[in-house]
Chains A and B, each alone.
Chain A
Amino acid sequence: MVGPLHYLVLAAALFALGAVGVVIRRNAIIVLMSIELMLNAVNLTFLTFSRFPLVVKGNDAPIAGHAAVFYVIAVAAAEAAVGLAIVIAVFRSRLTVNVDEIDSLKN
C-alpha cells in the first residue's frame, strides 16, 4: 500500500537531487533543469498534503494544495523564460554556458 510517506520521501529525494544538481552541475541549462526539479518536488509535496491532509481546515483545504500547485507551475514557467533569456545573454557574450567559465566577476 502506497501511503503519504512514500510520496513525501520521493519528493524530498527529488528536491535533494535538484539541489545537488544546482550545486555540482557545470552546464547552465542543466542547472535550470535542476531548479525545475526542485519546484516539482515542492508540487509533489503540496499534492501529497492535499490528498492526505494531516489537518483539515474547513472544507476547502484539499483544494488549497491543488491551487498552490497551479500557481507554482505558472511561476515556474515565467522563471524558465527569464532564466533561458539570461542564459542566451551569457552565451552571446562569451560563447559558452559552462558555469566554471563564467567567472569574470572575481577578484
Chain B
Amino acid sequence: MNFNPNDLVGILPAVILTLGGCALMTTEVFLRKDGPDRRYQPFLAAVFGLIALYVSLSQLGDPSATLFAGAAVADGIGRSISAVVSGTLVLSVLLAAGYLETLSASRGEFYALALFSAAGMCLLSQATDLIVVFIALEVMSLAVYSLTAWLRKGTKPAEAAFKYFVLGSFASAIFLYGAALAFGAAGSTRIADLALAVRNANAGSSMLVYAAGALLTVGFAFKVAAFPFHMWVPDVYDGAPAPVTGFMAAGVKAAAFATLARILIGGFGDVGASMGPHGWQSLIVLLAGATMLVGNVLAVPQRSVKRMLAYSSIAHAGYLLVSIAAMAGSEPRQDAVFGLVFYLASYAATVIGAFGIVALIERKLAPTGASDDLTTWGGLAQKHPLLAAAMSLFMLSLAGVPPTAGFMGKLGIFRAAIEAGLVPLAIFGVLTSAAGLYYYLRVVVYIYMVPSTKPEPVVGGRMLTAGVALAACAVLVIWMGVQPGAFATLTQSSLAGFGK
C-alpha cells in the first residue's frame, strides 16, 4: 500500500480544519492571559470553517474517488456531510464567541477543539474502513467530551462530560468489538470486504457476521441517541454549554448517521430486507418507532427548554432512523439518501439556531447554575421581538410546520418510507410528530403570551456576532422550507458512489 499525496485532496475539508485547529492552538501560547488580543479567535475559527465549507461545496459534483487504498472515499454523501459539518462549525463558533466572553471562559483551545472535532466528523463521514471509522469517531468524540466540560463553574458541566465520556467510550468499545469480529469474518477491516463476507457467509461464519453487525449498530445507536441507548442525552445536553450542545446535536448526529448508513448499506446492504431473523430492516423499523415515541413522550413534561430540546433530539434521531430503514430495501435508495442528507442539513440549521437563543438566555443563568425554566422565557417578545420571532420559527421548524425546513425534511423522509413500503412506520412517525407540536408550541406561548416576571433576560456583549449567526440560521430554515430545490445539488450529489 503506497501513500499517494493526491489523496489528501479528497479529504481537504478535514485537512483544512485540522490545520486551523493547529494554528489556533499554537497562537494561543503567545497571547496574554486576559486581554483584548484573543478577540480574533472565533473569527479565525469561522474563517477556517468557511474555507472548509467552500471546498466541500465546490467538490460536490466531482466523481467519487477511492482514497488511501480503500480506507476512505470521497463520494457524494461524504462531501454533503462535510459541508453540513463545516456550516455547523461556523455558526456554532460565532454563537459561542459572546457566550464565552460573558462567562469569562474565552480561551483559544475551545475553538481549536471545535475545529479538531469537526475534522473528525468530516473524516468519519468519509471512512470506509472500520479502524478509520474508529479513529475518526474518537477524534470527534474526545474533542466534544472536552468541550462539554468547558465551563469550570458549578457541578453541571463536569458531570455532563463524565456521563458523556463513560457512555461514549462504552459505545466505542462495543463498536470496536464489532469491528474485531468483522475483521475475523472478513479477514480485513474494509467495509467492502465485510460486504463480501456477508454475501458469502456460510453456516460457520454467519454467526460471526451477525454478531459483528449487531455490535457495530449498537455502538452507533449510542452515538445517535436511539432508544434504548438514549439515557445520556438529556443530562449531557443540559449540562454542556448551549453553543456546544447545538454543535453536538447537529454535527455529531450528521456524521454518525452518515457512517451508520455507510456501514449498514455498504457492509450489510445485501441482507437488509431479507425476511426472518437475518434482515436488519425490521430491527431498525422497531428502533425508529420506539425512538420517535420515547423522545416525543418524554419531552412533554419538561419545563426546561434546553432539556426539552434534548428529548426532541431523541425524537429527531427516530425520524432519521426511518430514512435508514427505508434505505434497507433494494435499490434505488435515492429518495431515502436524499431525505437523510436534507433532514440532517435542515435539522442542523434549526437546532443550532434554537440552542443559540438558549445560549443567549443561559449567559445570565450559567453562573448561578439555574436552568432555563419556561418562565424565564416569558415576555421575551416584548423585550426582544426579533429573538422571539426567530425562536418561534425554530420551534415551528422542529415541529415540522410548513413553510419551514423541518417540514420539507420530514416530508422527504416519510415519502421515502412510503415508497419503501413502510407505510405503518410513516403514519406512526407523522402521529408522533403531531404530538410534538404540543411542547414546541408551549415555548411560543410562553414567549408571546406569558408576561415577564423577571428582569432583562439577555446580558453580555457580542450581540451582533450572535445575531448574524442566528439570522443565517433563520434564513436557511425559511429558504430550505420555501425553496428546497435550491439545495438539490447538495442532496442529489449525495448519492454519487454510495450504496452500490
Binding site for B on A (CB under 8 A): 15, 18-19, 22, 28, 31, 35, 38-39, 41-42, 45-46, 48-49, 53-57, 60-61, 64-65, 67-68, 71-72, 75, 78-79, 82-83, 85-87, 89-90, 92-94, 102, 104-107
Asked if residues B180 and A93 are in contact (CB atoms below 8 Å), the reply is no
Report the minimum CB–CB distance from B303 to chain A (whole Å): 8
Instruction: Report if B131 contacts A (CB, 8 A).
Output: yes
Q: A61-B187, A90-B159, A93-B154 are in contact. Are A105 and B235 (CB under 8 A)?
A: yes
Q: Considering the chains assembled together, what is the distance between the CA atoms of A92 and B307 in angstroms?
A: 25
Q: Which residues of B contact A41 (CB under 8 A)?
A: 177
Q: Give B60-84 interface residues, CB cut-off 8 Å to A.
A: none
Q: A42-B173, A94-B155 are in contact. Are A57 and B193 (CB under 8 A)?
A: yes
Q: Which residues of B contact A28 (CB under 8 A)?
A: 162, 166
Q: Considering the chains assembled together, what is the distance between the CA atoms of A46 and B188 in angstroms?
A: 10
Instruction: Report if B413 contacts A (CB, 8 A).
Output: no
Among A39, A60, A105, contact of B160 (Cβ-Cβ < 8 Å): A105
Q: A61-B187, A72-B134, A82-B146 are in contact. Are A104 and B177 (CB under 8 A)?
A: no
The 4 closest A-B pairs by CB, nearest first: A55-B187, A49-B184, A38-B173, A45-B180
Q: Considering the chains assembled together, what is the distance between the CA atoms of A87 and B166 in angstroms?
A: 10
Among B173, B180, B197, contact of A18 (Cβ-Cβ < 8 Å): B173
Report the minimum CB–CB distance from A64 to chain B (whole Å): 6
Among A42, A55, A104, contact of B185 (Cβ-Cβ < 8 Å): A55
**A-B contact sample (20 more), CB < 8 A, given A38-B174, A89-B158, A92-B158:** A15-B173, A19-B170, A39-B176, A41-B177, A55-B187, A68-B179, A72-B176, A78-B138, A78-B142, A82-B142, A86-B149, A86-B161, A86-B162, A90-B159, A90-B162, A93-B155, A105-B156, A105-B234, A105-B235, A105-B239
Q: A86-B162, A104-B156 are in contact. Are A56 and B169 (CB under 8 A)?
A: no
Q: Considering the chains assembled together, what is the distance between the CA atoms of A102 and B196 in angstroms?
A: 46
Q: Which residues of B contact A57 (CB under 8 A)?
A: 186-188, 193
Q: Which residues of A contact B180 (CB under 8 A)?
A: 42, 45-46, 49, 68
Instruction: Report if B145 contacts A (CB, 8 A).
Output: yes
Report the minimum CB–CB distance from B83 to chain A (whole Å): 27
Q: A28-B162, A90-B158, A105-B238 are in contact. Are A64 and B183 (CB under 8 A)?
A: yes
Q: A35-B169, A42-B173, A78-B142 are in contact. Are A104 and B159 (CB under 8 A)?
A: yes
Asked if residues A45 and B184 are in contact (CB atoms below 8 Å), the reply is yes
- In the complex, residue of chain A having the shortest beta-carbon distance to the beta carbon of B157: A89
